[in-house]
Structure 1
Amino acid sequence: MQTSHETSLNLKLEQVATILRVASWVSFVLQIGLASLASVLLLLAISGRSFNQAIAPSVRVPNVGIAPTQTTTPGLGIAIFWAVCGILVLLFGSYLAFRLIRFSKRLGNSNPAIHPKRAKVMQVLRLGVITGLVGMLLMILGMGATVGVLLSKSIAQPQGVAIYDPNRIIRSLDVFVAAANTTGLTAHFVGVVVSLGVFNWLHRP
């Protein structure tokens, strides 16, 4: 027959397992979903750039004749690079959330021998916070590069006249890169909030 101490311990483990499972599933689903959305936006931007390079149209400028177009936006390459790095880090963060889901299942088992050690759970949570912060930094760098390109284009656009220089036109593909970085930044933020929240909850007295 279980003592009151054993019953209290079992209830505590069950509560920890439930909190860990719910929080990890929320983090995992949101990170995977947002990572997929960011990847699609980035693929659209990259494929659009490649398509533009393939067709390479020319523009007829009045009083000038045929002028070659600029098929890619200068400066966006580095923004795409940071976004790709951020998505890769986001996938690693999703893997950490999946590990926490596995830990929660082991905690819910009646056999204490397979329960994960507290130090191991805390280590994965701490790594999740660090991963999210690194990912946020990468996405912020990508977002900064994209905003810099869009700002330079908007400043270079003449007001009230037709624009014949393709370098000055803000295209939807440029905005896709900004949207991808923003989506990735949101996903990393979710991962940090969940990991930090569970970490602090386990440390409460």
Structure 2
Amino acid sequence: MSVDSQSSSSRRRAIAQAFRLTGWISFWIQLVLGVVSAIIVLLFAVFSQRPGSPSNNPGNGLGVFLAVCGLVTLGGGIYLAFRYTRIGRQLLSSNPSNHPGKLETVQILRLGLMVNLIGMLLTLLGAQAIVGTLVARSISPQAITTQLFDPNRIISGLDMLVVQANTNTVSAHFAGLVGSIWLLNRVTR
């Protein structure tokens, strides 16, 4: 075995380990944050439909739709993070025909970047809409009537949980971006 083939083999092994480790870390971070966000959004959807809930609920609009789109996109990011672990396994294979090509690997990493960037954009737009609705509710002028207390102006804990769910989803997409960028850097060196 020549020095060049040993160097190539050790480089491939290092890249394979990076793919496996980064893939698993990215997978678990995205999965945990995504599941927590999905549970919060589902709880919010259930409780916001109860009779007597405020009509200007942030869950009734575009904000939650975009947040759900961000969660769906996160599902693609989670799949791609898992795919990175499979690429690492293929690179460790003793059979060279199982090794994915550099071009194929770079394309998968670029797809991971695009999925997480689109998901982050959707989630951020959803967060802007939700927070805008909550701000409008909190600062809306209250009509002078005999009723001094307007329950529609109250921002509930559940409203804040939706904001937290969006923050979790953005964080999950960020973790996917960091993992993909780091792996892309390792492959293209």
Equivalent residue in structure 1 for 2:115, among 121, 131, 153:
131
| Partners of 1:76 and 1:149 within 8 A in 2 | no
| TM-aligned CA deviation for residue 4 of structure 1 | 1.7
Matches for 1:1-205 after TM superposition, within 5 Å = 2-50=1-49, 52-53=50-51, 56=52, 70-77=53-60, 78-156=62-140, 164-204=149-189
Letter in 2 for 1:186: S
Consecutive unaligned residues of structure 2, counting only runs of 5 or more, are: none
Q: Deviations over 1:154-188 (max 9, x none)?
A: 21276xxx853222111122112111111101100
The answer for the alignment partner of 1:61 in structure 2 is: none
Q: Considering only aligned residues, what root-mean-square deviation do their CA atoms show, in Å?
A: 1.6
Change (3 A) 1:185 1:96: same
Consecutive unaligned residues of structure 1, counting only runs of 5 or more, are: 57-69
Letter in 2 for 1:27: S
Runs of 4+ displaced beyond 2 Å: 70-77
Normalising by structure 1, report the TM-score: 0.84
| Partners of 1:135 and 1:188 within 8 A in 2 | yes
| TM-aligned CA deviation for residue 89 of structure 1 | 0.1
Report sequence identity in percent: 36
CA radius of gyration, larger in: 1
Normalising by structure 2, report the TM-score: 0.91
CA distance in 1, matches of 2:125, 2:148: 29
CA distance in 2, matches of 1:42, 1:74: 13
Higher helix proportion (structure 1 or 2): 2
| Partners of 1:86 and 1:139 within 8 A in 2 | yes
Q: How many residues align?
A: 184
Change (3 A) 1:111 1:123: same
